[in-house]
């Protein structure tokens, strides 16, 4: 007898290749809750989506509006960030400060999987909601989920906002008395993780059922709420019923629409936009990689150098800077400008070379340069490469025919005499945006960075950038400097002055020297106006072996604060600032980089900045950082310490042709004067990315 098909998902756990002939529908994801993150309606569940799953959500109900983004960083860890609009409260009591804007709040959640589901045991997860903020919805929970056919059963215990109903005794209260009462308020000046509150106070049992209807797009949810809505920021909310209902309609792979009926008296609705950072990609209309003919060219005389250079550029995305053609090998120096993946890049370059070069050339040496310095040399054994590229064995793999080594090109007799001096120009678009401002929720400034450089030789240059604002609403600022005078030098909190001084400003003007000092060692020195707010002198040293998991850098600077009133003048504030940085790619986490920078910051506070970045298969990089210094939360002010998030998106996810280059979207909840590093004009670790690729 035929069974009714329920959820429709692909899994090919042992077979990563899925052939397009099957009629398999694409993977289903667990639906989001109102506040963002996988869950029922108000209550979170133990479920996790596939790693890389991302959801951008908008949820609307009478008292609250939520904009949230939820990302499954690892199969066992989900993170959510959220902006809340409390419609029944005002942003502040002062109309000159914030007009009639309603109350806004930020929140961050995290959820960990503790136990995977099996035939008889449920999936168990624990999570922390709205920690590290002013904690309007601050809660902890432990949840269990079990699926039986089309039903998914959930049960959980919540503490804090999720547990305010208090229908059970807090189990931790039986173990230790301190867990019976939940401390109120928040530590520091908000923005800190309040460990001392975790799992304390009243606890509530909650649960729910999700039913996947026989009609694939429709999912129904029933939930027993653990919250009694007596302590909501929006005010005491009437709860006519402990049960909430929702229906989710999956419009297509990208959109989920939902409606819900909460507390027996309120309707709400929302939309979710789903993406998977691991699988998202764009169709590419690149020229096909060249096939290698059976008959190869025989002599060097027939080599058409102009055509070889053109083929390398158009087909392999390799811009040749210089070359040496010897009896049995060719050395090429240049940059890759199209293909982000090294394997594809070398495959294409090798094929172009094999098509043009005669058989006696046995070795191709391809040197990748960055900032005029050789980064890495890929040595291709031509015979093995050609045999693999012609598929002369059933398990032919081009990757086995080359290796990456330290470049040995100091004494080469380059074919072209290049004049390395001269002028250069560049133009780059920028867009600055901030959320949650009192004057207007969304404020922005966009324009152009026009750059000019005079290069004296490959090591030394003079650089300058002008910032031109084209589109901005920063003129709506009601105040330029906030009123929190905590005694700490204002190293960054004059930001509004700097960005509103004039529509055309000099961003930087400095002399720059860089060189490869020895094998694996790189150095740079710069002096002048280094960034918007600081000028001075500084240098950096970096140790970065090829394909290593650890790189170490040291930078030292002596800077003086630039004036926000006059273009070229300085204020009196001077300081040393410098850091010892470790760039580490741990083996036990896939595609992750942790950067730890220890040193002294601009406000003379000392501490460490930790940056955690995860790269997904599509090239999207998501990161979070925090600066932990000896500046106290009281001295720091609102937010307690500097933290931020960013998403770096490769441009060719949007284009039909492969391209290198990416854009970075930052989100900085609060940035004040503590833990602030100098924005160095050039970062050696970024410059030497090719030596140990992470971002690609």
Partner 1 sequence: MRVFSFVALTVLSFTSFCYAAGPVVLVKHQEQYNGYMKLPRLSEVVTTVNTVPALYWPAARLYKTDPESVNALELQRQELLKVLANLKQAYLLDDEAELAASTEALSQDVKNWVLAEQLFLALDPDKVRAKPALNPILRAGQYLLQVENRSETITVAGFAQNTEVQFINAADASDYFAGIKPLAGASSSFLYILPAAQQVIQAKIGLWNSQRQDVPAGAILYVPFEQRNLPSEFENLNQQVIELLQHRVVL
Residues that bind partner 1 (CB under 8 A): 1-3, 5-17, 19, 21-25, 117-119, 146-149, 291, 390-394, 396
Residue 254 contacts by C-beta under 8 Å, 6 or more apart in sequence?
273, 274, 275
What's the min distance (Å) between Cβ of 284 and partner 1?
16
What's the min distance (Å) between Cβ of 54 and partner 1?
21
C-alpha 74/C-alpha 81 separation (Å) is 16
C-alpha 363/C-alpha 376 separation (Å) is 16
Nearer to partner 1, 119 or 177 (CB): 119
Pull the structure tokens for residue 554.
Answer: 């040291």
Helix 382-389 to helix 342-356 angle (10° resolution) is: 100
Cβ–Cβ under 8 Å, residues 27 and 126: no
Pull the structure tokens for residue 342.
Answer: 């090294």
What's the min distance (Å) between Cβ of 141 and partner 1?
22
Least Cα distance to 544 among 406, 669, 428 occurs for 406
DSSP lists the bridge partners of residue 93 as none
Phi, psi of 403, deg, nearest 5: -145, 155
Nearer to partner 1, 316 or 647 (CB): 316
Nearer to partner 1, 21 or 301 (CB): 21
Nearer to partner 1, 17 or 471 (CB): 17
Residue 263 backbone class (left: φ over 0; alpha: ψ -120 to 50; beta: rest): left
What's the min distance (Å) between Cβ of 3 and partner 1?
7
User: What's the helix, strand, coil split of the chain in %, to 5?
Assistant: 10, 45, 45
What's the min distance (Å) between Cβ of 122 and partner 1?
9
Neighbours of 389 (CB within 10 A): 19
C-alpha 73/C-alpha 182 separation (Å) is 30
What's the min distance (Å) between Cβ of 9 and partner 1?
4
Angle (nearest 5°) at CA 541 between 537 and 546? 150
What's the min distance (Å) between Cβ of 19 and partner 1?
7
Per residue in 327-347, is it b (16+ CB within 10 Å) or e — as a string?
A: eebbbbbbbbebbbebebbbb
Nearer to partner 1, 21 or 572 (CB): 21
Nearer to partner 1, 16 or 184 (CB): 16
Residue 52 backbone class (left: φ over 0; alpha: ψ -120 to 50; beta: rest): left
> Judging by beta carbons within 10 Å of its beta carbon (0-12, 13-18, 19+), is residue 427 exposed, middle or buried?
exposed
What's the min distance (Å) between Cβ of 205 and partner 1?
23
Nearer to partner 1, 301 or 395 (CB): 395
What's the min distance (Å) between Cβ of 330 and partner 1?
24
C-alpha 417/C-alpha 324 separation (Å) is 12
What's the min distance (Å) between Cβ of 627 and partner 1?
43
DSSP lists the bridge partners of residue 120 as none
Nearer to partner 1, 147 or 362 (CB): 147
Nearer to partner 1, 240 or 383 (CB): 383
C-alpha 158/C-alpha 140 separation (Å) is 6
What's the min distance (Å) between Cβ of 216 and partner 1?
10
Nearer to partner 1, 148 or 299 (CB): 148
Pull the structure tokens for residue 436.
Answer: 């949650």
Least Cα distance to 56 among 71, 39, 69, 72 occurs for 69
Helix (H) or strand (E) holding 64: strand 64-74
Nearer to partner 1, 148 or 175 (CB): 148
């Amino acid at each position: 007898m035929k069974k009714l098909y329920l959820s429709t998902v692909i899994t090919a756990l042992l077979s990563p290749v899925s052939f397009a002939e099957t009629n398999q529908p694409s993977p289903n994801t667990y639906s989001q809750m109102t506040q963002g993150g996988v869950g029922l309606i108000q209550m979170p569940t133990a479920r996790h989506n596939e790693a890389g799953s991302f959801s951008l959500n908008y949820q609307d109900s009478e008292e609250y509006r939520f904009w949230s983004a939820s990302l499954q960083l690892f199969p066992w860890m989900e993170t959510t960030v959220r902006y809340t609009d409390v419609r029944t409260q005002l942003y502040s009591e002062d109309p000159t400060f914030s007009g009639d804007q309603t109350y806004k709040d930020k929140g961050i959640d995290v959820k960990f999987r503790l136990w995977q589901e099996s035939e008889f045991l449920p999936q168990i997860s624990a999570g922390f909601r709205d920690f590290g903020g002013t904690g309007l919805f601050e809660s902890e929970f432990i949840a269990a989920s079990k699926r039986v056919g089309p039903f998914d059963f959930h049960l959980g215990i919540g503490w804090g906002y999720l547990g305010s109903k208090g229908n059970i005794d807090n189990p931790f209260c039986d173990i230790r008395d301190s867990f019976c009462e939940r401390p109120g308020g928040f530590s520091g000046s908000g923005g800190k993780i309040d460990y001392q509150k975790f799992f304390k106070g009243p606890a509530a049992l909650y649960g729910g059922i999700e039913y996947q209807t026989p009609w694939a797009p429709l999912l129904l949810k029933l939930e027993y709420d653990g919250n009694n809505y007596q302590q909501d920021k929006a005010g005491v909310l009437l709860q006519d019923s402990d049960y909430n209902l929702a229906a989710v309609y999956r419009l297509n792979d990208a959109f989920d629409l939902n409606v819900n009926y909460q507390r027996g008296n309120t309707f709400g609705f929302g939309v979710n936009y789903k993406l998977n950072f691991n699988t998202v990609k764009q169709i590419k209309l690149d020229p096909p990689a060249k096939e290698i003919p059976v008959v190869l060219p025989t002599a060097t005389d027939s080599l058409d150098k102009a055509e070889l250079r053109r083929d390398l550029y158009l087909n392999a995305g390799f811009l040749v800077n210089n070359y040496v053609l010897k009896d049995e090998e060719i050395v090429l120096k240049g940059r890759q400008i199209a293909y982000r993946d090294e394997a594809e890049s070398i495959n294409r370059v090798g094929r172009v070379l094999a098509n043009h070069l005669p058989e006696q050339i046995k070795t191709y040496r391809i040197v990748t340069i960055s900032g005029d310095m050789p980064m890495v040399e890929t040595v291709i054994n031509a015979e093995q490469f050609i045999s693999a590229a012609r598929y002369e064995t059933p398990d032919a793999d081009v990757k086995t025919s080359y290796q990456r080594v330290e470049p040995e090109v100091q004494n080469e007799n380059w074919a072209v005499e290049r004049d390395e001096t001269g002028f250069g120009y560049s133009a780059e678009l920028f867009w600055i945006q901030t959320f949650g401002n009192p004057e207007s929720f969304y404020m922005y400034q966009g324009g152009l960075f026009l750059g000019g450089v005079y290069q004296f030789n490959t090591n030394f240059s003079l650089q300058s950038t002008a910032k031109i604002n084209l589109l901005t609403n920063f003129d709506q600022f009601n105040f330029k400097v906030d009123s929190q005078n905590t005694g700490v030098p204002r190293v960054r909190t004059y930001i509004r002055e700097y960005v509103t001084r004039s529509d055309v400003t000099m961003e930087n003007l400095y002399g720059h020297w860089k060189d490869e000092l020895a094998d694996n060692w790189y150095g740079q020195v710069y002096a002048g106006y280094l960034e918007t707010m600081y000028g001075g002198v500084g240098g950096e040293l970096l140790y970065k072996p090829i394909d290593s998991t650890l790189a170490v850098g040291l930078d030292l600077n002596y800077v003086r604060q630039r004036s926000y009133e006059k273009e070229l003048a300085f204020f009196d504030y001077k300081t040393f600032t410098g850091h010892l940085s470790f760039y580490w790619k741990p083996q036990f986490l896939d595609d992750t980089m942790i950067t730890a920078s220890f040193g002294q910051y601009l406000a003379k506070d000392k501490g460490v900045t930790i940056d955690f970045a995860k790269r997904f298969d599509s090239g999207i990089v998501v990161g979070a950082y925090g600066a932990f210094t000896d500046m106290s939360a009281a001295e720091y002010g609102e937010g307690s310490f500097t933290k931020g998030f960013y998403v770096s998106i490769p441009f060719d996810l949007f284009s039909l042709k492969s391209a290198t280059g990416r854009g970075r979207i930052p989100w900085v909840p609060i940035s004040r004067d503590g833990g602030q590093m100098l924005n160095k004009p050039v970062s050696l670790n970024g410059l030497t990315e090719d030596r140990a690729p992470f971002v690609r």
